[in-house]
Each structure stands twice: as C-alpha cells, then as structure tokens.
Structure 1
Amino acid sequence: MAKYEAKMKETESSVIEFIETVENPKKREDAYKLLEIFSEATGYEAKMWGPSIIGFGSYHYKYASGHEGDAPLVGFSPRKAKISLYFATGDTEREVILERFGKHTSAKACVYINKVADIDVEVLKELINRSIKFLQETYGS
C-alpha cells in the first residue's frame, strides 16, 4: 500500500506573488490586510502551504489512527467565493469567540468570510492566538 502523501506542504512559493494572482481587487486588498494581521498576531513569517493557503508557523500532528503530518498553526486563503480562515479544530472555545466575530460561516477547520470589513479584527487576533495556544498545548510547541 502506498504511503499517504500530504497535499498540504510548505512550499517555497512567494506569498506576495500568490496574492497578486487574486483577480478581485477588493479580495486582493483584503488578503494584504489579513497578511498584516496574521503576521503581527503570530510573529511568524507567512509561508505558502500547497498552492493556495498562506500559513503561519507549523506543528506536527499525529492521530490515533497513525496518520501524521505537518500543518500551519493558522492561515488563510483568498478563494474566489469567500476568504477561508484556518484555525485549530477541536477547540471548544473557538465557537464562543466566534459569537463576537462578525459576519461569517464556519465548518470543521475553516471559518469563511466575505470581506475583512464584515469582521471584528480584534476578535480575529483573539482567534489566531487561541488557535496557536490550543495547538501548542495539544501537540507541543
């Protein structure tokens, strides 16, 4: 049986070049705002993960199933429909914080927003910091 190959790997691609490929000018502007917010909140340099995720920091996970890999601590992706924000899964405090976040929808690993103007940036910073703390407590730093 072939070993599972992670789709999401840190790459050497340029974050700025990727943001410049975002067609919608407002979404591109929001991507630059998010780049600044995430960089400031995390203290980590932005890196590309796979072809379209801008990630900050990294951690190594290992599940009970034996599956393991690396992932960014937090990140975002300016997708065509919405902007995807990536935070830790399994943290129950995330749902409580999201109540104060602003206009969004969420799934297991992602929180989706239309634009930065729809959300509270201070709450975004809180989500970023909480996610990093949760992952470092769960998987070690």
Structure 2
Amino acid sequence: MKQTGSNVAALIAAASPAIRRRDAETLTALMREVAGREPAAWGSIIGFGSCHYRYPTGTEGDMPILAFAPRKTATTIYLDDTERHSEALGDLGPHTVGKGCLYVKDLEKVDLEVLRDILEGTLAWVESGGTPGIELTVTD
C-alpha cells in the first residue's frame, strides 16, 4: 500500500452518505491528536504516519500506523487486532468487527474516550515493533 498524494479534504468531502463525512472529520481530528501526525490519503483510506511490515514468509510492505476509511455502509477503522481490544470494545457502543477492522455506522453513538484508548493501544503496538511473526518499523 502506498500514499497516493490525493487531497484528504476532497476524499472526506466525497464520502457518502453525509454521516460518513461528519464521522470522517471527527476521526481525522481524533487520529491526528492520537498519532501526532498529519493525515494522508492511501487510496480511499485516510492514514496517519507510516510503517513497514514484514512477515516470516517474506511478505512485506508499507501501511499507515492509524487509519480509517469512510465507506458507504460504515466507517472502517483499522486496528492491530480486535481481539486484543475485546474488553474495551464491550464498552464502545454500537459496532461490528472483523479480525483487524472496527466498523462503526454512527460515531456519535460510540464512546470516543473508549475509541481513543483503543487507538492509543494500536499506536503503542505499532511503535513497539508488533508481535512475534509480524515485524513493524515506524518510518515516519
């Protein structure tokens, strides 16, 4: 995955429906604060910072440290592993999860302090170098 250089404000403005635009603005401010980095477009994903990953198989690449995507059906928030955050997710509010994805349909219905804690946990995981089997190196 690579940064595309697209305009983040334009990416947010193009999000549909309107609730995704509202949530994208809120998440941009929150992730900017948590990551201490400015947003950048990675295709249709809005990412903060970057890191390089490498698996034992030799597969490697680059990805944002924190990221989200305003999708039509829900906002996708990318995490390290939702199982690591299962207790906090129980306190978050309405959402669904995948292995490393948190799906939120309305950010106003979730506890933003709980979300902040989850994002801070993901950031700490990346900055610590990942877990056995996933080598992570922050590149900015």
Specify the TM-score bucket, using the shorter chain as the normaliser.
0.7 to 0.9
1:104 counterpart (95, 101, 111):
95
Pair 1:37-2:30 in alignment: yes
8 A contact 2:53–2:137 mirrored in 1: no
When normalised by structure 2's length, the TM-score is 0.88
Deviation of the 1:23 alpha carbon: 2.8
1:20 aligns to what?
13
**Map 1:1-141 → 2, pairs under 5 A:** 8-50=1-43, 52-89=44-81, 92-137=83-128, 138=130, 139-141=136-138
Distance 2:80 2:16 in 1: 28
- Tell me the distance in 2 between the aligned counterparts of 1:132 and 1:33: 18
Q: Report the Cα distance in structure 1 between the residues aligned to 2:84 and 2:72, rounded to whole angstroms.
A: 29
Gaps of 5+ in 1: 1-7
State which drifts further: 22-31 or 64-73: 22-31
Shift of 1:96: 2.1
CA RMSD, 1 decimal: 1.4
Runs of at least 5 residues in structure 2 that lack an aligned partner in the other structure: 131-135
List structure 1 segments (4+ residues) > 4 angstroms apart after TM superposition: none
Q: Deviations over 1:8-47 (max 9, x none)?
A: 2111111101111113222211111111111112111001
Amino acid at match of 2:53: Y
State the TM-score, normalized to the length of structure 1: 0.87
What is the rounded CA distance, in whole Å, between the counterparts of 1:77 and 1:41 in structure 2?
17
**Which SS does the other structure have where 2:91 is aligned?**
coil
1:3 is aligned to: none
Distance of 1:36 and 1:110 partners within structure 2: 19
Structure having the higher strand fraction is 2
